[in-house]
Chains A and B, each alone.
Chain A
Amino acid sequence: MRRLLFLFLLLNLGGCSQLGVHAWERGTLAKDDMALTADAVDLSLDDHIYFSKEGTSGGRGFAGGGCGCN
Chain B
Amino acid sequence: MQLNHKNITQSLLGASCTLLGSNVHAQKWDIDAAILYYGEPDRVQAIEAIVSGTKEYSTDHSLSLKVVVDSLTGASANGAIEQATPQTFTRPSGNGQYTVDANTTPLDDTFRDTRVQLSAQWTQPLNRQWVYSGGANVSREYDYQSIALNSSFSRYFNTKNTTLTLGASLSFDSVDPVGGRPVALSEMVVDSGQFNNENDFDTAFNLTRDIDSENRNTVDVIFGLTQVMSKRWITQFNLSLSDVDGYLNDPYKLFSTVNNQGEAISQRFESRPDTRFKQAIFAQSKYHFSRSILDASIRIADDDWDISSQTLDIKYRFLLNNNHYIQPRFRYYQQDEAFFYQPFLSVNSTQPDYISADYRIGRLNAYTIGLKYGFKNKKGNDYAVRLEYYTQTPENPGVILPEPLTNEAVFPSVDALILQFNYSF
Measured CB to CB, the residues of A under 8 A from B are 1-2, 4-5, 8-9, 11-12, 15, 18-23, 25-29, 31, 33-34, 36, 38-42, 44-45, 48-50, 53-56, 58-68, 70
Q: Would A66 and B146 count as touching, CB distance under 8 A?
A: yes
Q: Would A66 and B148 count as touching, CB distance under 8 A?
A: yes
- Name A's interface SS: loop
Given contacts A64-B169, A70-B111, could you give 14 more A-B pairs where the C-beta distance is less than 8 Å? Answer: A1-B310, A2-B310, A5-B298, A12-B227, A19-B228, A20-B158, A29-B232, A34-B293, A36-B226, A54-B333, A59-B238, A62-B220, A67-B144, A67-B146
What bracket does the count of chain B residues touching chain A fall in? 35 or more
> What are 8 A-B pairs at a CB distance below 8 A?
A8-B283, A19-B158, A20-B162, A26-B228, A45-B50, A55-B307, A63-B220, A67-B141
Chain A to chain B: the 9 pairs with minimum beta-carbon distance, closest first: A20-B161, A68-B144, A1-B310, A59-B282, A64-B171, A59-B299, A64-B218, A56-B309, A62-B220
Q: Would B232 and A28 count as touching, CB distance under 8 A?
A: yes
Q: Would B390 and A56 count as touching, CB distance under 8 A?
A: no
| A58 contacts across to B, CB distance below 8 A | 220, 240, 242, 278, 280, 301
| A70 contacts across to B, CB distance below 8 A | 76, 111, 250-253
Q: How far is the CA of A64 from the CA of B353 in the complex (A)?
A: 25
Q: How far is the CA of A62 from the CA of B146 in the complex (A)?
A: 14
Q: Would A56 and B307 count as touching, CB distance under 8 A?
A: yes
- Distance in angstroms from B283 CB to nearest chain A CB is 6
| Chain B 163-189 residues near chain A, CB threshold 8 A | 167, 169, 171, 173, 175
Q: Mark B387-425, 1 if CB is under 8 A from A, else 0.
A: 000101000000000000000000000101010101000
Q: Would B286 and A36 count as touching, CB distance under 8 A?
A: yes
Q: How far is the CA of A8 from the CA of B338 in the complex (A)?
A: 28
| A20 and B228 in contact, given A41-B32, A59-B282, A70-B111 (Cβ under 8 angstroms) | yes
Q: How far is the CA of A19 from the CA of B420 in the complex (A)?
A: 37
Q: Would B366 and A53 count as touching, CB distance under 8 A?
A: yes
Q: How far is the CA of A65 from the CA of B147 in the complex (A)?
A: 9
Measured CB to CB, the residues of B under 8 A from A are 32-34, 36, 38, 48, 50, 52, 66, 68, 70, 76, 111, 113, 115, 117, 137, 139, 141, 143-144, 146, 148, 150, 158-162, 167, 169, 171, 173, 175, 216, 218, 220, 222, 226-236, 238, 240, 242, 244, 250-253, 278, 280-286, 288, 293, 295-301, 303, 305, 307, 309-312, 317, 319, 325, 333-335, 338, 360-361, 364, 366, 372, 386, 390, 392, 414, 416, 418, 420, 422
| A62 and B34 in contact, given A44-B50, A55-B307, A70-B111 (Cβ under 8 angstroms) | no
Q: How far is the CA of A26 from the CA of B115 in the complex (A)?
A: 41
Candidates A4, A18, A67; contact of B230 at CB < 8 Å: A18
Q: Would A33 and B293 count as touching, CB distance under 8 A?
A: yes
| B36 contacts across to A, CB distance below 8 A | 45
Q: Would A34 and B34 count as touching, CB distance under 8 A?
A: no
| B278 contacts across to A, CB distance below 8 A | 56, 58, 63
Q: Would B161 and A21 count as touching, CB distance under 8 A?
A: yes
| B282 contacts across to A, CB distance below 8 A | 59-60
Q: How far is the CA of A55 from the CA of B335 in the complex (A)?
A: 7
Q: Would B338 and A55 count as touching, CB distance under 8 A?
A: yes
- Distance in angstroms from A6 CB to nearest chain B CB is 10
Q: Would B229 and A15 count as touching, CB distance under 8 A?
A: yes
Q: Would A19 and B144 count as touching, CB distance under 8 A?
A: no
| Nearest residue, chain A, Cβ from B286 | A34
| A61 contacts across to B, CB distance below 8 A | 222
Q: How far is the CA of A1 from the CA of B250 in the complex (A)?
A: 30
| A63 and B34 in contact, given A54-B333, A56-B299 (Cβ under 8 angstroms) | no
| Nearest residue, chain B, Cβ from A44 | B50
Candidates B137, B143, B298, B361; contact of A8 at CB < 8 Å: B298
| A45 and B420 in contact, given A36-B284, A66-B148 (Cβ under 8 angstroms) | yes
| Nearest residue, chain A, Cβ from B171 | A64
